[in-house]
Amino acid sequence: MSDTAIDPRYGTKPPKRPLRLSWGDERVRGIVYQILVVGIVGSIAYWLFSNTMHNLEVRRIATGWGFLEREAGLPIAEFLIPYDPTDTYLRALQVGVLNTLKVAVIGIVLATILGTILGVLKLSKNWLVSRVVGAYIEIVRDLPLLLQLLFWYALLQGLPGPRQAIHPATGVFLSNRGLKLPFFEWEGPHNWALLLMLIGAVGTYFYRRAARAKQMADGQPRAIWPAATVMMLVVPLGAWYAMGAPFTPDIPALRGFNFQGGLTVSPEFFALLLGLTLYTAGFIAEIVRAGILSVSQGQWEAAEALGLPRGRVMNLVVLPQALRVIIPPMTSQFLNITKNSSLAVAIGYQDIVSIANTTLNQTGQAIEGIAIIMVVYLTISLSISLFMNWYNSKIALVER
Amino acid sequence: MIDTIRARGQLLCGVSTGLAGFAQPNSQGVWAGFDVDYCRAVAIAIFGTEQNRVRYVPTTAQVRFTALQSGEVDMLSRNTTWTLSRDTSLGLDFTATNFYDGQGFMVKRSLGVTAARQLDGATICVQPGTTTEQNLADWARSVRVNIRPVVIERLEDNIAAYLAGRCDAYTTDVSGLAASRSAQQVPADHVILPDVISKEPLGVLVRHGDQRFADLVRWVHFGLLAAEEFGITAENAAGLATTDNRPEVQRILGRTGGLGQMMGVDNAWMLNVIRTLGNYGEISTRNLAPLGLQRGPNALWTTPGGLQYAPPFR
């Protein structure tokens, strides 16, 4: 936005006219009106705030953030960071934020992949494929998401109990308690290996940029995968091996009421993820389809006339142009997944809304609780928006 | 407050969204139950009749306090546990304990569990935003039992998850367990474990700031207790009002003493209430006996183990 003030026809800022202190001056009027509007909005906000605080005070309803330090005493089923009911409300809320992020991030990735595939399939020349995909898109887009979530949750509850669990391979159990997968004991060296892998991924990115720059200079394409393999796989594995190669398998087994050990995908999380992914993929498919259709047939033909193979035509010619159309509505869909994840409370997945709701109910501090929920969603949504806007401006065609 | 309600012509009463025996609309859509009878009793005390005088506002566990704080309802008669922090930090007042409850567990009979301690490693369904949730965590910690919670907001969805086998046990107040159990096709398939892990004094709440209305709600409850104590029933109340010569009975039924006027209502307030709804025992029998609930601590203080006690009407 910063360069909109520059008129592209001049390439420089227009000279500023000196300000005349007179009602006849358009700019003076503008400034006065703006001060007025900001003042009115500001005083309304101040009045709302002070009125609320006054009424809370009069009714002796507790306010403030002191409750965050108090012991929560809430049982939480799923957590990414260690949590115990003796921890504080603050910790419980952090667990909730991470649970929201977990389902939102995985949901965005899966919905994007599935939606893109469906969008391409809907353009298929095969009558059956395009109609089946079309029917799917219509169905998921037309039914309320809450209904779909309850449907998936009910379906997952219909699975057999833990003692009659479906058991297709060693350590894999599917029951109404969720999906159990074998894993291994997570130890210190694994953290280091993961960190090295992330550093390797960043390194690969810069390596690729450098390789691209060289290709621009001399026209020689360079393979990236050898360096990528070394940085993201060989080095982390080597470090893990050097630190004693710890590996203790953790295989789930039925003990008492439930399975112990291994990785768990709970029915609540899975139903939410499934519902969000399938629902949003329907919208993304339409966006992708529209994006591809927005690139004129002439572009395909021109690119093919240059002798480019079909894959490269897609990657180098069609997709860069389609993405310009796809990215902005895609941002809305990513925001929708994040916000819709708040329906989790209906099916018992403890996201930030669920935990903040419980917190405000236990402490009675509704305003603070709602404020926390709003700040969390605002932060996540703005982050997604900022990232997508950055990406959008990066891929935008440079026009003059 | 009483004047506001009178001017409006209706009492706004917050009840639960549907709990057999306590508050549930019947097949004609008419609300009935123990908590509902308290709404009716207060309305009768104010208006002399309950015909179209109560509007029931179903509230979930999570919105109930906000509904009362914001004035959406005048009183909350919704199996709400009296705790210190709720009494002090919500800007609300508990009037009296009209039902002594305690938290328990329900399991399927086929599970073969006979005591709560055997639930180690079990998955337990619980509603969020209730003392139940924290009691569960406290209990698990104190007896060193590992539990996995499944926290679902709506009561119906919670029961459905328990029935589908998503949870091994379902926990809430024993009265709520009995209500849910009685609603099942074969109640005998489910067992309420003998362990009671908490004290749950349930009562009616009103907003801070209007002691007169709080007094009225509190004394309607005491009036119902006193009526049971003195043997005043729906059937004989009208007769006793003119014939009984016990001074306290005369004061309760408004023949002498002018107690109603002190409360800001008609002197026949309790007579009207008892004539329509019966005394505490009758309300209890009508609503809770079908669930298979014993009176237990909710018997009058004159019965061994009973805790319900009314201060003197004078």
d(CA A211, CA A217): 10
**Closest to B300 measured CA to CA, from B286, B310, B311, B290:** B310
Q: A363 pLDDT exceeds 90?
A: no
Calculate how close chain A gets to B180, using CA atoms only, in Å: 19
The dihedrals phi and psi of B108, each to the nearest 5 degrees, come to -75, 140
The confidence band for A398, taking pLDDT boundaries of 50, 70 and 90, is low
The residue among A50 and A399 whose pLDDT is bigger is A50
**Closest to B77 measured CA to CA, from B220, B199, B291, B223:** B220
Q: A47 pLDDT exceeds 80?
A: yes
* A258–B122 CB contact, under 8 Å: yes
Total CB pairs under 8 A between chain A and B? 122
d(CA A21, CA A9): 30
Taking contacts as CB-CB distances below 8 angstroms, the residues of chain A near B137 are 73-75, 85
CATH of B2-100+201-293, one of 3.40.190.10, 1.10.3290.10, 3.40.309.10, 3.20.20.80: 3.40.190.10
What amino acid is encoded at B108 in this protein? K
The confidence band for A14, taking pLDDT boundaries of 50, 70 and 90, is low
Dihedral over Cα of B167, B168, B171, B174: its sign: positive
Residue-averaged pLDDT of chain B: 90
Taking contacts as CB-CB distances below 8 angstroms, the residues of chain B near A176 are 164-166
* B123–A60 CB contact, under 8 Å: no
pLDDT given at position A22: 79
Q: Roughly what angle, to the nearest 10 degrees, separates helices B211-229 and B269-277?
A: 60
* A260–B140 CB contact, under 8 Å: no
Segment 285-314 of chain B within 8 Å of chain A by CB: none
Dihedral of the CA atoms A104, A109, A115, A120 (nearest 10)? 170
Calculate how close chain A gets to B6, using CA atoms only, in Å: 23
Q: Are B189 and B164 in contact (CB under 8 A)?
A: no
Q: A187 pLDDT exceeds 90?
A: no
* B149–A77 CB contact, under 8 Å: yes
B209 in contact with chain A, both atoms CB, cutoff 8 A: yes
pLDDT single digits (tens) B32-74: 999 999 999 999 999 998 888 999 999 987 788 889 988 899 9
Taking contacts as CB-CB distances below 8 angstroms, the residues of chain A near B156 are none
pLDDT single digits (tens) A280-325: 999 999 999 999 899 888 988 999 899 988 878 888 888 888 888 8
- Structural domain spans, chain B: 2-100+201-293, 103-198
Class of CATH domain B103-198? alpha beta
**Of B89, B138, B151, Cβ closest to residue A348:** B151
pLDDT single digits (tens) B170-210: 999 888 898 888 888 898 999 999 889 999 899 999 998 88
**Closest to B59 measured CA to CA, from B85, B87, B83, B39:** B39
Calculate how close chain A gets to B298, using CA atoms only, in Å: 26
pLDDT given at position A90: 92
* A177–B123 CB contact, under 8 Å: yes
